[in-house]
């Protein structure tokens, strides 16, 4: 810790040096304005004590000059004055001083003030250090998220484009999307769908997404049976992900005639909006993928059906847990009402856009905390 | 501290209480809560009655604990509110934990 003492009176320079050096502080003393400015640059003090009455120039002005020279560094300036009128004190603070000690002062008072300021300096130095570390990590994480985003976007391009039969909406939370939505029509005309939600965000989610994508598209080509596909995805995630990571998801095969065969684990109910505005549900009855060892994994499937004009909507929990600016979650009921209303539209893409609009309006300027995925499917059977 | 550990040595069980938001920010503290115990207990209780929110990362942390503790020793998830209980049931955590 270094102290710059600026005083025109030798006796005070000696007193301050003596007291401060007892505290282990290195002291440099000056008596004039110009010498003080030079010393400030060369000596680089952590703290300054100065009398506003100088030999040559105005001490108040010196406070201002030194504060400016400090830039973004925090270097407390303690003003000393024999004139203890309020006006003098006030002027010190107006010019940028951090503290004021009237002369004469006792050793105890000087010690207390010095120690207080030293504590502040230490705190602020620690804060700077931590800030720097945080900025470093933030930049690093942003870069990693960017990369993960890139990887996932690439995967997504292999999925089917939006049409009157398939509409996919993915909205990333502030950082990165841990959701995955894949749709592809097989050679037999059946459509294979995977909607997954990885635990957490960022790089780990995209690491899991890559092999899932590979297994999914292989299954499209090879017409792999659904239970077998669920087992394959589970096995591969179990082997590559750490035990605290998994993937909730629906695997759905929609035949040309509208028959649905599905496996669901850890996902909220999927909704079938019937053409008469009633609602049916697909329920996930299993643990998410990537948790159970192969011998415990349950690959049993459920079935349902889509008639012409019906819409199957799969939402991730990010939709149900979407918060408005008041902090209220959207919840099952509102989502159901929204879906009943929006998907009355015969045009699937317009219905999807309407849903996106209502979700955005609900959120308002509240932060989106989780990823949002919304997949809508209609039967191509006429 | 949003995690407190209370061991009952005479009855061989330990209670890990979580307060507030059970999410990724507790990753290290939660792991420490069960891995720093001096010895194994015959029963583990996670008191979730003070948990307001739980995210999927917390589910992962619970699974991690399940893997770290001998599979024959029960882990109870106690006092979860309806919202959280629903999350636990959707992911079928009843297959690995006693949900009270």
Instruction: Find the CB nearest B60 among A246, A287, A370.
Output: A246
Q: How far is CA A359 from CA A128, A292, A370, A371, in A?
A: 40, 34, 13, 13
Query: Of A86, A109, A128, which closes a domain?
Result: A128
Chain B residues inside the 8 Å CB shell of A287: 91-93, 95-96
CA distance B27 to B33: 10
- The reported pLDDT for the residue numbered A49 is 96
Whether residues A251 and A332 share a domain: the answer is yes
Residues 6+ apart with CB under 8 A from B26: B2, B3, B18, B58, B61
CA distance B35 to A21: 49
Question: E strands, A46-165, where?
Answer: 47-51, 77-81, 99-102
Domain assignment present for residue A331? The answer is: yes
Do residues A213 and A205 lie in contact, with contact meaning Cβ atoms separated by under 8 Å?
A: no
Q: How far is CA B21 from CA A198, A314, A371, B27, in A?
A: 19, 27, 18, 12
Q: Is the CB of residue B86 less than 8 Å away from at least one CB of chain A?
A: no
Q: Is the CB of residue B55 less than 8 Å away from at least one CB of chain A?
A: yes
Give the residues across from A254 on adjacent strands: A191, A260
Do residues A133 and A42 lie in contact, with contact meaning Cβ atoms separated by under 8 Å?
A: no
Q: Is the CB of residue A267 less than 8 Å away from at least one CB of chain B?
A: yes
Determine whether the interchain pair B63/A248 forms a contact, defined as Cβ–Cβ distance below 8 Å: no
CA distance B31 to A78: 48
Whether residues A105 and A235 share a domain: the answer is no
Would you give the end-to-end CA distance of chain A in angstroms? 83
Q: Which CATH superfamily is domain B3-99 in?
A: STAS domain (3.30.750.24)
Whether residues A211 and A330 share a domain: the answer is yes
Q: Is the CB of residue B92 less than 8 Å away from at least one CB of chain A?
A: yes
CA distance A303 to A254: 10
- The reported pLDDT for the residue numbered A84 is 83
Q: Is the CB of residue A246 less than 8 Å away from at least one CB of chain B?
A: yes
Determine whether the interchain pair B63/A197 forms a contact, defined as Cβ–Cβ distance below 8 Å: no
Q: What is the pTM of this model?
A: 0.76
Query: Of A89, A107, A128, which closes a domain?
Result: A128
Domain limits, chain B: 3-99
Domain assignment present for residue A335? The answer is: yes
pLDDT (tens, 9 = 90+) of chain A, 382 residues, equals 999 999 999 999 999 999 999 989 999 999 999 999 999 999 999 999 999 988 788 899 999 999 999 998 899 999 999 988 899 999 999 999 999 999 999 999 999 999 999 999 999 999 999 999 999 999 988 888 778 777 777 887 888 888 899 999 887 765 556 788 999 999 999 999 999 988 866 676 777 888 899 999 999 999 999 999 999 999 999 999 888 899 999 999 999 899 999 999 999 999 999 999 999 999 999 999 999 999 999 999 999 999 999 999 999 888 888 889 998 989 999 999 999 999 999 999 999 999 999 999 999 988 877 778 899 999 876 5
Write out residues 134-173 of A within 8 Å (CB-CB) of B: none
Determine whether the interchain pair A291/B56 forms a contact, defined as Cβ–Cβ distance below 8 Å: no
Whether residues A16 and A123 share a domain: the answer is yes
Chain A residues inside the 8 Å CB shell of B54: none
Q: Is the CB of residue A286 less than 8 Å away from at least one CB of chain B?
A: yes
Distance from CA of B25 to the nearest CA of A (A): 11
Q: Is the CB of residue A285 less than 8 Å away from at least one CB of chain B?
A: yes
Determine whether the interchain pair B64/A286 forms a contact, defined as Cβ–Cβ distance below 8 Å: no
Domain assignment present for residue A171? The answer is: yes
Instruction: Find the CB nearest A248 among B57, B91, B95.
Output: B91
CATH number at residue A295: 3.60.40.10
Determine whether the interchain pair A243/B67 forms a contact, defined as Cβ–Cβ distance below 8 Å: yes
Whether residues A181 and A304 share a domain: the answer is yes
Coil, strand or helix at A4: strand
Q: Is the CB of residue B39 less than 8 Å away from at least one CB of chain A?
A: no
- The reported pLDDT for the residue numbered A365 is 87
Chain A residues inside the 8 Å CB shell of B96: 287
Q: Is the CB of residue A318 less than 8 Å away from at least one CB of chain B?
A: no
| Residue written as token pair 């000393």 | A80
Domain assignment present for residue A140? The answer is: no
Closest chain A residue to the Cα of B31, Cα to Cα = A244
Determine whether the interchain pair A245/B24 forms a contact, defined as Cβ–Cβ distance below 8 Å: no
Would you give the end-to-end CA distance of chain B in angstroms? 24
Q: How far is CA B1 from CA A364, B55, B58, in A?
A: 33, 19, 17
Whether residues A233 and A364 share a domain: the answer is yes
Determine whether the interchain pair A200/B60 forms a contact, defined as Cβ–Cβ distance below 8 Å: yes
- The reported pLDDT for the residue numbered A207 is 79
- The reported pLDDT for the residue numbered B1 is 62
Whether residues A90 and A208 share a domain: the answer is no
CA distance A16 to A28: 10
The range of the structural domain enclosing residue A291 comes to 158-378
Instruction: Find the CB nearest B59 among A199, A285, A292.
Output: A199
Query: What is the total count of domains within chain A?
Result: 2
Whether residues A207 and A319 share a domain: the answer is yes
Closest chain B residue to the Cα of A200, Cα to Cα = B57
Chain A residues inside the 8 Å CB shell of B95: 287, 292
Residues 6+ apart with CB under 8 A from A11: none
Query: Of A109, A128, A147, which closes a domain?
Result: A128
Determine whether the interchain pair A200/B57 forms a contact, defined as Cβ–Cβ distance below 8 Å: yes
A208, A241, A244: which to substitute to probe chain B, counting the most B Cβ within 10 Å? A244
Determine whether the interchain pair B91/A268 forms a contact, defined as Cβ–Cβ distance below 8 Å: no
Question: E strands, A159-317, where?
Answer: 166-171, 179-185, 191-198, 247-254, 259-265, 270-273, 279-282, 302-305, 311-315
- The reported pLDDT for the residue numbered A201 is 63
Q: Which long-range contacts (CB under 8 A, 24 or more apart) does A86-93 make?
A: A88/A52, A91/A52, A91/A60, A92/A52, A92/A60, A92/A63
Determine whether the interchain pair B57/A199 forms a contact, defined as Cβ–Cβ distance below 8 Å: yes
CATH number at residue A14: 3.40.50.2300
Distance from CA of B82 to the nearest CA of A (A): 13
Whether residues A57 and A113 share a domain: the answer is yes
Whether residues A109 and A185 share a domain: the answer is no
């Amino acid at each position: 810790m270094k102290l710059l003492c600026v005083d025109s009176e030798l006796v005070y320079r000696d007193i301050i040096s003596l007291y401060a050096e007892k505290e282990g502080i290195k002291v440099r003393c000056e008596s004039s304005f110009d010498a003080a400015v030079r010393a400030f640059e060369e000596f680089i003090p952590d703290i300054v004590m100065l009398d506003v009455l100088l030999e040559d120039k105005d001490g108040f002005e010196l406070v201002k000059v030194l504060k400016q020279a400090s830039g973004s560094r925090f270097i407390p300036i303690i003003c000393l004055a024999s004139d203890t009128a309020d006006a003098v004190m006030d002027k010190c603070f107006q010019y940028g001083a951090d503290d004021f000690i009237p002369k004469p002062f006792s050793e105890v008072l000087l010690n207390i003030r010095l120690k207080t300021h030293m504590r502040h300096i230490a705190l602020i130095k620690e804060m700077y250090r931590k800030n720097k570390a945080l900025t470093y990590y933030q930049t690093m994480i942003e870069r990693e998220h960017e990369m993960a985003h890139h990887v996932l976007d690439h995967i997504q391009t292999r999925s089917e484009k939006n049409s009157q039969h398939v509409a996919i909406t993915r909205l990333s939370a502030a950082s990165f999307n841990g959701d995955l939505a894949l749709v592809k029509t097989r050679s037999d005309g059946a459509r294979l769908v995977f909607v997954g939600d990885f635990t957490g965000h960022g790089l780990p989610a995209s690491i899991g997404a890559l092999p899932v994508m590979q297994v999914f598209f292989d299954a499209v080509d090879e017409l792999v049976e659904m239970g077998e596909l669920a087992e394959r995805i589970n096995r591969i995630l179990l082997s590559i992900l750490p035990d605290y990571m998994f993937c909730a998801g629906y695997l759905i095969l929609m035949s040309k005639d509208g028959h649905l065969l599905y496996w669901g684990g850890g996902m909220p109910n999927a909704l079938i909006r019937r053409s008469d505005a009633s609602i049916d549900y697909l329920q996930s009855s299993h643990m998410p993928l990537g948790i159970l060892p192969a011998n415990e994994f349950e690959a049993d499937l459920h079935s349902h059906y889509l008639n012409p004009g019906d819409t199957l909507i799969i939402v991730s929990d990010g939709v149900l847990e979407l918060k408005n600016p008041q902090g209220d979650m959207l919840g099952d009921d509102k989502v159901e009402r929204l879906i009943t209303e929006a998907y009355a539209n015969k045009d699937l893409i317009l219905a999807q856009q309407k849903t996106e609009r209502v979700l955005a309006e609900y959120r308002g300027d509240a932060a989106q905390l989780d990823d949002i995925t919304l997949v809508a499917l209609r039967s191509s059977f006429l | 501290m949003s995690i407190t550990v209370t061991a009952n040595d005479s009855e061989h069980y330990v209670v890990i209480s979580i307060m507030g938001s059970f999410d990724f920010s507790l990753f290290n503290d939660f792991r420490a809560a069960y891995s720093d115990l001096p010895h194994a207990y015959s029963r583990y209780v996670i008191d979730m009655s003070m948990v307001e929110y739980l995210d999927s990362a917390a589910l992962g942390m619970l699974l991690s604990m399940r893997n770290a503790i001998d599979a024959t020793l029960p882990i109870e998830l106690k006092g979860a509110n309806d919202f959280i209980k629903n999350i636990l049931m959707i992911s079928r955590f009843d297959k690995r934990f006693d949900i009270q």
